[in-house]
Chains A and B, each alone.
Chain A
Amino acid sequence: GESVGLHLPTLSVQEGDNSIINCAYSNSASDYFIWYKQESGKGPQFIIDIRSNMDKRQGQRVTVLLNKTVKHLSLQIAATQPGDSAVYFCAEITGSYIPTFGRGTSLIVHP
């Protein structure tokens, strides 16, 4: 079946560095791709999304890149801060409008 997966379960970075979290997807019919952030003890929180007809979208300190050729999605966080430490999930939505979530990547920011 279709799935959303992540390349790395844990990513450790130094404060101030840029972080890149990767996600592979297999459903070429997906309409939306979304990134969520989940801090310890809390529910996931929407960060940014990108439609399938786009290659790049920027937010505040975050950029999402979509490479449909290789079915790859990435979240770039600029100048990573300790408050960015969390688990990051990618998700995709197809025509069924039901989001399918990946397993998550834990981002650890060292001061």
Chain B
Amino acid sequence: AQSVTQPDIHITVSEGASLELRCNYSYGATPYLFWYVQSPGQGLQLLLKYFSGDTLVQGIKGFEAEFKRSQSSFNLRKPSVHWSDAAEYFCAVGRSGTASKLTFGTGTRLQVTL
């Protein structure tokens, strides 16, 4: 069965600093991978997704993620964090061929200090 691990429950970074949120997945075939962001009191917004092809994926709001099959990872990065990036971030994996029946990680809460 597929699973997702986000090892960091809570991360604090200073505004302007770089950010990397970790995501490790377990899935036997080629996974579909997603990062979602949830701002306080809001629903989930898709940041980016990986289906195939280039392993470095660009998303919205200046985020990117890199798929590394050898490490079963899909880490999210941003070179310079803004205070508005404070939110909870979820990594998710779907079965190859479809994003249906996503399995979500437990989330990483990002705090940004000024």
Specify whether A and B are partners: no
A residues adjacent to B (C-beta < 8 A): none
